[in-house]
A and B are shown apart, each in its own frame.
Chain A
């Protein structure tokens, strides 16, 4: 039997395989490089960057819930300049696409970062308009369709890089937000970011996270994510990278059937550093078993 074609062309961004790792769960690749051959990952979305270095939120920053976790890191990162100088050269050695996840407090900040990164070897920008763990910007942008359109268009004007817009699930109609990003010039959408959640210590009668609320991820959010990928894929004509609680190949296949062109592994990396490779292998076996010759044939094949 012929080898299955795992490559995927996201309308301009070609990945050698559709399994990527999600921003905030893979650092800048160094740590997990000890466990995974980074050359075998389709793309790496790096830890969310801001214009200036950020120290992030106080601890505790994580609380575990059944089948999930809530984090409140608050975008701790060394800043975009440090990333370009100190981390990008290391990442560029590998045969994988590099997605720079960017976060701004204002449209100007997003644009400044996009300009800086345009002159580098990153393959794509991922506009994070959905981080629930910072006071300004973040999810405030991601909830307003007009704002989403505007920030997407401005960043597109200031950069010639491939542009992914990462959507927040913390909205009443995610289709509307997806359409706004598309009309603003997004080349691709990624979804979902975390759901806003909370955990309470009943003895102390206080929230467990220092900041009270945080972003819920892990298998607990998967049904929500699959539904949203399904809805948005029907509403837009640009590709979607699906993510949210993917722990294994079966979870990933659900996302492809729902309409995702590629998938991203997040929380599962923390549980099993080698999970991305296991997911990739499992998808290939499934395609073989179902007699597909390429991953593209699986996208949106949900029978309804």
Chain B
């Protein structure tokens, strides 16, 4: 039977303004962890609901997440100190499926870059290009370079790498090279663009979707994602049926 896991925080570092890397003990009960799965973490008592945070790093004895201070819950989580205990459910959801294709693009935006770090660790045998997009300050870039040589950065304000959107880099790459599959995680507006480009160039894609959640285990139906079905549209659960979906089935908001 599954249960809450109580994990001691081993490290909590602010790696960019309002972006925290938190590593916790990998206690018994975690079992196997797939890249793209998430943890459902209790942030405080007053803000009731847990927050779904993707797993960014897995080691034998520790599990890492990267959290952006977005609201009260995530701010309280980022303020937790080394040595404190986190109440965690997980790992939850379906992660990325490692495809047969050899030529791979991994493209992330902002905090969505974090789960892709654990993914690239699992793509050792592949030809991988990593494209990372940020508004301003990049983070995790060096960590990606530990696993992949070809890492390109885009910033919207031009403070590092290419000035503009990371999806521009994706387009350039697809113009010039053969690509079998795109793995992506990031804000909806970026994922929508990735989906458009993938369709245009007829490349398979897997997209990790973000949605407000309550239960995280598939019971409450608040984190619905719209997907294509035989008779039009179907609402599936981002937490249980996702968060990773095939790019050709997801229907983004208009």
Q: List the interface of chain A (C-beta within 8 A of B).
A: 24-27, 30-32, 34-37, 47, 55-56, 58-64, 66-69, 71, 73, 76, 218-219, 267, 269-274
Other-chain residue from B1, B48, B89 in contact with A219 (beta carbon distance below 8 A): B48
Tell me what chain B mostly uses at the interface: helix, strand, loop, or mixed: loop
Residue among A24, A71, A270 with max Cβ neighbours from chain B (10 Å) = A270
Determine whether B60 belongs to the interface, using a CB cutoff of 8 Å to chain A: no
* Given A27-B219, A273-B89, 6 further pairs, Cβ under 8 A: A27-B220, A34-B217, A35-B2, A47-B221, A71-B220, A76-B221
Q: Contacts A35-B1, A61-B212, A270-B214; is A56 near B224 (CB within 8 Å)? A: yes
A230-B215 Cα distance, complex, nearest whole Å: 30
Q: Are B219 and A62 in contact (CB under 8 A)?
A: no
Flag if B48 contacts A68 (CB, 8 Å). Answer: yes
A270 touches B49 (CB 8 A): yes
Tell whether B70 is near chain A: CB-to-CB under 8 Å. Answer: no
Beyond A60-B212, A63-B212, A76-B224, whether A26 also contacts B1 by CB under 8 A is no
Q: Please, could you name 27 A-B residue pairs with CB atoms under 8 Å apart, sorted by A?
A: A24-B220, A32-B217, A32-B219, A34-B1, A34-B217, A35-B1, A55-B234, A55-B235, A58-B253, A59-B224, A62-B49, A62-B223, A63-B212, A64-B48, A67-B46, A68-B48, A69-B48, A71-B222, A76-B235, A270-B48, A270-B49, A270-B50, A271-B49, A272-B4, A273-B89, A273-B217, A274-B3
User: What A residues does B235 contact at CB under 8 A?
Assistant: 55-56, 76
Inter-subunit contact A274/B4 (CB<8 Å): yes
**Across-interface contacts of A31 in B (CB, < 8 A):** 215, 217-219, 240
Are B220 and A25 neighbours in the complex by a CB distance under 8 Å?
yes
Cβ A67 vs Cβ B48 within 8 A? yes
The yes or no answer to B201 lying at the interface (CB within 8 A) is no
Cα distance, A206 to B98, chains bound together (Å) = 40
When chains A and B are docked, how far (Å) is the Cα of A68 from the Cα of B47?
A: 8
Cβ-defined partner of B219 (8 Å) among A26, A69, A271: A26
CA distance A35 to B216 in the complex (A): 13
Chain B residues, CB < 8 A from A25: 215, 219-220
CB distance from A200 to the nearest CB of B (A): 14
| Shortest 3 CB-CB contacts between residues of A and residues of B | A27-B219, A62-B222, A61-B222
Nearest-neighbour CB distance to chain B for A260, whole angstroms, equals 22
| Nearest A residue (CB) for B47 | A64
B3 touches A73 (CB 8 A): no
Q: How many A-B residue pairs have CB under 8 A?
A: 104
B16 at the interface (CB under 8 A from A): no
On whether A271 and B73 interact (CB within 8 A), knowing A25-B219, A27-B219, the answer reads no
- Centre residue among B73, B218, B233 by max chain A CB count within 10 A: B218
In this complex, which of B49, B73, B219 has the most chain A Cβ atoms within 10 angstroms of its Cβ? B219
Chain B: minimal CB distance from A74 (Å): 9
Given contacts A31-B218, A62-B212, contact A55 B46 (CB under 8 A): no
B14 sits at the interface (CB 8 A) = no
Counting CB contacts under 8 A, is B213 at the interface? yes
CA distance A271 to B2 in the complex (A): 15
CB-nearest residue of chain A to B239: A31
Contact A270 B233 (CB under 8 A): no
B211 interfacial by beta-carbon distance below 8 Å: yes
State the Cβ distance, B109 to closest chain A Cβ, in Å: 20
Q: Judge if B26 is at the interface, Cβ distance under 8 Å.
A: no
Task: Give B229 Cβ to nearest chain A Cβ, in Å.
Answer: 10
A68 to B217, CA, bound (A): 19
Q: Select from chain A the residue with minimum beta-carbon distance to B238.
A: A59
Contacts of A67 in B (CB 8 A): 46, 48
B220 → A minimal CB distance (Å): 6
Residue B42 CB within 8 A of the other chain: yes
The digit string for B200-217, where 1 denotes a CB below 8 A from any CB of A, is 000000000001111111
Q: Which B residues are in CB contact (< 8 Å) with A59? A: 211-212, 222-225, 253
Considering the chains assembled together, what is the distance between the CA atoms of A283 and B218 in angstroms? 28
Partner of A271, one of B50, B221, B223, B240: B50
Report the nearest B residue to A274, measured CB to CB. Answer: B3
A60 to B46 CA separation, bound complex (whole angstroms): 21
Q: How far is the CB of A7 from chain B (nearest CB, A)?
A: 25
Distance of A47 Cα from B214 Cα, bound (Å): 15
Query: What residues on A are CB-neighbors of B4 within 8 Å?
Result: 272-274
Complex interface residues of chain B between 174 and 220 (CB less than 8 A to chain A): 211-220
For B234, the chain A residues whose CB sits under 8 A away are 55
- Residues on B with beta carbons closer than 8 Å to the beta carbon of A58: 253
The answer to whether B233 touches A55, judged by C-beta atoms less than 8 angstroms apart, is yes
User: Contact between B215 and A269 (Cβ–Cβ < 8 Å)?
Assistant: yes
**Which of B46, B48, B214, B218 interacts with A71 by CB under 8 Å?**
B214
A279 to chain B, nearest CB (A): 16
Give every chain B residue within 8 A of A274 (Cβ-Cβ): 3-4
- Inside 8 A of B2's CB, which chain A residues have their CB? 34-35, 273
The answer for the CA separation of A47 and B218 in the assembled complex, in Å, is: 12
